[in-house]
């Protein structure tokens, strides 16, 4: 149930590659391409890319307040706020038109509501303390499955001729159904696993069960955790990786155009990416066992290796190799969020988990706003910039090895 809800609401920006052709054929932002309302042009591509980047950035940005809200008011209210925001966005998108252009605002609201719903699910991991990495990887995999939503929209639009307005009105009804389900499956407060110690004295006839001392206040614990060097590493590295992933999602079509000039091939490969991203995001959830069984250092090394392979292929520009890149991206992009969540849980526990995870996401989202200008510059500028960016991404990815190397050798 929790995975299904996450896959429907957590990050609708993930499936944008499948929504893109539908929006083009439906005439979204058609005024930017005079005379060709159902075709693309650089200005229209830029507007759609900016809509995606704003939505993706907000999806990450609001995780800070949603995480803090989760810590204080619990999962159910947090989930309700997210569903209400997503519902407003879906309705705005459904009723947008050439005279009422609210597509960007609607898409942004749908993405902004997702984290409130998504983070309200994470307390489930506290029920499995010895397999929290696997559980979190599973939940993060369901985040990637959000791509399936627009895959379904794509098929319904082209196969059944269902208009965009009807599709998003139907999605609004689905959000309402989820809201009803929260009454039965979402708790008011986070699940808390009680801790106690048992001290045995062989000279005594019975054990002495002692409850630990009263823990520090929430804010004192939070301050200590966010000033920790482990967390400082995380809050620098993860946002960089998230920005890389969002940039690729926003420019995958244009990067494919550097490899082939055939539109049919570009559309086919975009469909492959649209299927691989949600599928592998769930199938590769057992990667969370790397953390549970081997530790966080091995998880980081695996992440760095997969990410570097993806960006190297981006420089090679070989069409069949793009499938390998899709597979790698479909693993490492959701794994970025898994790495962040299990790192925080592994090093700091769950007491301040919501705020810490949200703070990392806040920095990630903040980087997403200047990224929209970069997308404009790259899409409308010389294509050679993609090569330089892939090289920069490789260097940034390799910098992540600082943590495991420091842990092992220092």
pLDDT digits (tens, 9 = 90+) for 128-139: 666 666 777 777
Asked whether the beta carbons of 51 and 104 are under 8 A apart, the reply is: yes
Residue 286's pLDDT band (cuts 50, 70, 90): low
Q: Which residues contact 223 (CB under 8 A, 6 or more apart)?
A: none
- pLDDT higher than 50, residue 213: no
Of the listed ranges 65-69, 215-219, 339-343, the least confidently predicted one is 215-219
Residue 214's pLDDT band (cuts 50, 70, 90): very low
Q: Token digits for 325?
A: 């890149």
Q: Which residues contact 88 (CB under 8 A, 6 or more apart)?
A: 109, 113
In this prediction, residue 381 carries a pLDDT of 58
- pLDDT higher than 80, residue 154: yes
Give me the CATH topology for the region 2-193+216-409: Growth Hormone; Chain: A; (1.20.1250)
pLDDT digits (tens, 9 = 90+) for 382-400: 555 677 778 888 888 888 8
Residue 200's pLDDT band (cuts 50, 70, 90): very low
pLDDT digits (tens, 9 = 90+) for 88-110: 998 998 888 777 778 888 888 98
Average pLDDT over all residues of the chain: 76
Of the listed ranges 237-241, 301-305, 347-351, 368-372, the least confidently predicted one is 368-372
In this prediction, residue 389 carries a pLDDT of 79
Mean pLDDT of 3-31: 77
- pLDDT higher than 70, residue 301: yes
- pLDDT higher than 60, residue 410: no
Q: Which residue has the higher pLDDT, 7 or 113?
A: 113
Q: Which residue has the higher pLDDT, 35 or 276?
A: 276
Domain-wise residue ranges, the chain: 2-193+216-409
In this prediction, residue 178 carries a pLDDT of 86
Q: Token digits for 231?
A: 């967390």
Q: Token digits for 329?
A: 């991206």
In this prediction, residue 266 carries a pLDDT of 82
Q: Token digits for 133?
A: 């990495």
Between the ranges 20-34, 54-68, 148-162, 181-195, where is the mean pLDDT highest?
Answer: 148-162
Interatomic CA distance for residues 217 and 6, integer angstroms: 31
Interatomic CA distance for residues 369 and 142, integer angstroms: 25
Q: At what angle do helices 103-119 and 75-95 cross, to 10 degrees?
A: 160
- pLDDT higher than 80, residue 225: yes
- pLDDT higher than 80, residue 208: no
Interatomic CA distance for residues 36 and 315, integer angstroms: 33
């Amino acid at each position: 149930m929790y995975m299904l809800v996450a896959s429907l609401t957590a990050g609708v920006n993930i499936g944008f590659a499948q929504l893109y052709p539908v929006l083009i054929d439906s005439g979204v932002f058609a005024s930017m391409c005079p005379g060709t309302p159902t075709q693309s042009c650089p200005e229209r591509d830029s507007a759609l890319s900016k809509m995606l980047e704003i939505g993706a950035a907000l999806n990450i940005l609001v995780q800070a307040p949603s995480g803090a809200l989760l810590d204080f008011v619990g999962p159910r209210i947090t989930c309700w706020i997210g569903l209400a925001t997503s519902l407003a966005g879906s309705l705005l998108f459904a009723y947008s038109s050439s005279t009422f252009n609210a597509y960007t605002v609607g898409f942004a609201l749908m993405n902004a509501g997702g984290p409130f719903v998504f983070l309200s699910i994470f307390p489930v991991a506290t029920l499995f303390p010895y397999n929290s990495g696997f559980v979190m990887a599973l939940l993060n995999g369901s985040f990637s499955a959000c791509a399936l939503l627009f895959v379904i929209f794509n098929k319904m639009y082209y196969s059944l001729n269902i208009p965009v307005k009807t599709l998003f009105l139907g999605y609004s009804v689905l959000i309402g159904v989820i809201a009803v389900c929260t009454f039965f499956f979402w708790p008011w407060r986070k699940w808390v696993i009680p801790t106690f110690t048992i001290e045995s004295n062989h000279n005594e006839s019975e054990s002495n069960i002692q409850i630990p001392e009263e823990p520090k206040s929430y804010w004192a614990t939070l301050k200590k955790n966010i000033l920790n060097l482990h967390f400082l590493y995380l809050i620098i590295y993860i946002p960089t990786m998230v920005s890389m992933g969002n940039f690729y999602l926003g420019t995958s079509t244009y990067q494919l155009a550097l490899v082939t000039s055939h539109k049919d091939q570009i559309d086919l490969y975009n469909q492959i990416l649209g299927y691989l991203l949600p599928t592998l995001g769930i199938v590769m959830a057992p990667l969370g066992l790397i953390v549970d069984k081997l530790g966080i250092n091995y998880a980081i090394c695996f992440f760095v290796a997969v990410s570097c392979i993806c960006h190297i292929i981006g420089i090679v520009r070989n069409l069949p190799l793009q499938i390998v890149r899709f597979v790698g991206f479909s693993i490492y992009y959701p794994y970025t969020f898994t790495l962040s969540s299990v790192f925080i849980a592994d090093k700091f526990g769950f007491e301040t988990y919501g705020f810490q995870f949200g703070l990392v996401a806040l920095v990630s989202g903040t980087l997403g706003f200047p990224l929209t200008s970069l997308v404009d510059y790259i899409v409308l500028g010389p294509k050679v910039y993609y090569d330089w960016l892939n090289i920069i991404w490789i260097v940034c990815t390799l910098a992540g090895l600082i943590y495991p190397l420091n842990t092992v050798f220092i």
